[in-house]
Structure 1
Amino acid sequence: MTARIALGAAPLGNLYREVSDEDARAVLEEAWTGGIRHYDTAPHYGLGLSERRLGAFLRERPRDSFRLSTKAGRLIVPNTGRRRGTDEAAGFVVPDDHVRHWDPTSDGIRRSLDASLERLGMDRVDTLLLHDPDAYDLDEGLRQGLPALAGLREAGLVDEIGIGVNSVAAAVRAVREGDLDVVMIAGRYTLLEQPAAEELLPLRRERGIRVLAAAVFNSGLLASDAPATAHYDYGPVPPELAERTERLREVCARSGVPLPAAALQYPLRHPAVDRVVVGTARAAELRADLRHLEREIPAGLWETLREEGLLA
């Protein structure tokens, strides 16, 4: 099953908390030892810190032994304005000596790729995704960014292109308006909620795209201990979703299944989902995730969840 899991490296960019180089390295070692060979990062994650840490690790491995994806759309440029000390307003505990600059133009996308390759210390990435265009200007992002990505693919600079978003509507538009290979949808096809099933996932058959289901724990809500510090879409957890999570946990427990095991395996039941993407800055958590991925789950659990109104 490890062929169907990818490591998302946002936490290695100090997402929500500071992570030491040693702890970041331990997570990557655990991923590699556990058989993970697909890694995803982005300039946005820690203003380049995630890319630097991931690249330093992967440069020690044969380049053809893993697949690597990063994202474009946000350029990381020096901060010439007001500084508050850290980038915590954007969710990352790193110095705010740089800022993000939205630029989905052909020149901006190419500059973003070149900067990512420099931070990674790589001569290529396998997949390049347009990152969160709906957070800025979706029309502009799709109109300029998708052709720019296609141009890089045509020039042989990347193998695959796609989009990485939290919004199903943005993903559907991108697939219909561009010629994409991959869609990474975060948090919208999980055990907690499945809006991507209505329109996005059926496009796999129509357009032949690969779908990567990211944030399958909904930012920690579906983790085994449901920490009080969990987030939902980078903000506080709505009470109704906290209640739904507890109902999911109870039903899973009656079948003897840990909630995170069900959360990891549920998206992979859909034929459109190529793999799940999980992120953590703790090696022990990743080790547990790999065990959960291999756990046998009674087929009746999914039917029980439907009967309880917890799955569509």
Structure 2
Amino acid sequence: MNLREILPARIGFGTAPLGNMFRAVPDDEAITTLNSAWDQGIRYYDSAPPYGAGLAEIRLGKLLSSKPRDSFVLSTKVGRVILDEVETGASDLGDKGTLFEYGRPNTIMHEWTAEATERSIENSLERLGVDRLDIVRVHDISQDFHGDIWLQKIEEARTGAFRVLSRLRDEGTIKAWGLGVNLTEPIEITLALDEPRPDGFLLAGRYTLPDHEHALQRLLPMAEEQGVGTVVGGPYSSGVLVGGTHFEYADAPPAILEKVRRIKEICVRHGVGVKAAALQFSLAHPVSAAVIPGAIKPSRVAEDLAALGEQIPAEFWRDLRENGMVSPQAPLPGGV
């Protein structure tokens, strides 16, 4: 099923920050933000078990479990199973090892087999307090592996998670499945398979103003040709576009900081909000079905919604292009 037929709007809510990403977020702050997002009309929510070792799903469930199930769209992920036992050392999250250091201390198991996939879904339903999911994505497959191990893990997912999710979709238990990753290569490999066939993807951080060249080379043309939609996660590049210091979940390198500085300079010159430029750029590609910025304050949700509707002059997009801030191949709003 086409993602745009499933999603209620072109903007949703990414819950990674509510898993205590980068810092400990108090419960009342998290719940207030979620309630505010609902009151402001957000009806699509994306989560994942590793976000705080189940914390984000638990917090999201406090909101969604009280709402009519047909009134919202919900996606989560498989590939990480949260165990009851407490982790005695640092959580094994690969390149995200310290990202959720303030989350729950539960042990996280990496597995993409059929059994682990079904178990992960059952556990997510319990944490979320709902009876069904709309979209399920295979999370960060091959993110932390290389060479032959990478291919082994993709094969594990193909014969395990992919087939389970395809069956659940065909049975009508879920509406769609795909991958949720921040590398383009796993999606390209999946699109090249004869079967199982995914419905769409969540690509985090790889189609943003500071970082979109690689996605434009192979992935997005493949997805467009096959009619597969993509949800853009991390549209603010881990926060570096909007005043933060992180890019790819780590300290932003000098080259990215310089590019962000130049983007902001052009925004100021045209009186354009950085958030507006970021969201509208990510949505301009025909493959993009929605964006899901995260938030930990109600005011941030309001800013995101306002940014989506901000009127941006064509001269701004031309200025970005002429200054080399966006690829010549990148579609721009209004067909610029």
Instruction: Bin the TM-score by the shorter chain.
Output: over 0.9
Which structure 1 residue ranges, 4+ long, deviate > 3 Å from structure 2? 78-81, 83-90, 93-97
Partner of 2:211: 193
The Cα shift of 1:80 comes to 5.9
> Residue 165 of structure 2: which of 123, 131, 149 is its match?
149
Partner of 2:120: 112
Partner of 2:70: 64
Distance 1:85 1:168, change over 3 A: closer
Q: How many residues align?
A: 307
- Tell me the percent identity: 38
> Residue 198 of structure 2: which of 172, 176, 180 is its match?
180
> Residue 225 of structure 2: which of 206, 219, 232 is its match?
206
Partner of 1:124: 132
Q: Return the alpha-carbon distance in structure 2 between the equivalents of residues 75 and 104 of structure 1.
A: 9
Partner of 1:248: 263
Distance 1:251 1:80, change over 3 A: closer
8 Å Cα contact 2:143-2:181 kept in structure 1: no
8 Å Cα contact 2:202-2:230 kept in structure 1: yes
SS of the equivalent of 2:108 reads strand
> Residue 167 of structure 1: which of 183, 196, 215 is its match?
183
8 Å Cα contact 1:79-1:96 kept in structure 2: no
Q: Return the alpha-carbon distance in structure 1 between the equivalents of residues 206 and 83 of structure 2.
A: 31
Q: Return the alpha-carbon distance in structure 2 between the equivalents of residues 281 and 80 of structure 1.
A: 26
1:11 alignment partner AA = P
Distance 1:33 1:96, change over 3 A: closer
8 Å Cα contact 1:213-1:275 kept in structure 2: yes
1:251 alignment partner AA = I
Alignment of 1:263-302 (within 5 A): 263-302=278-317
RMSD: 2.0
Q: Return the alpha-carbon distance in structure 1 between the equivalents of residues 70 and 182 of structure 2.
A: 30
8 Å Cα contact 2:135-2:175 kept in structure 1: yes
2:120 alignment partner AA = S
Residue range with higher mean Cα deviation, 246-255 or 91-100: 91-100
The Cα shift of 1:150 comes to 1.3
2:127 alignment partner AA = R
8 Å Cα contact 1:86-1:94 kept in structure 2: no
SS of the equivalent of 2:130 reads coil
8 Å Cα contact 1:7-1:278 kept in structure 2: yes
Partner of 2:276: 261
1:26 aligns with 2:32: yes
Q: Return the alpha-carbon distance in structure 2 between the equivalents of residues 180 and 93 of structure 1.
A: 32
Distance 1:209 1:85, change over 3 A: closer
8 Å Cα contact 2:11-2:44 kept in structure 1: yes
TM-score scaled by structure 1?
0.93
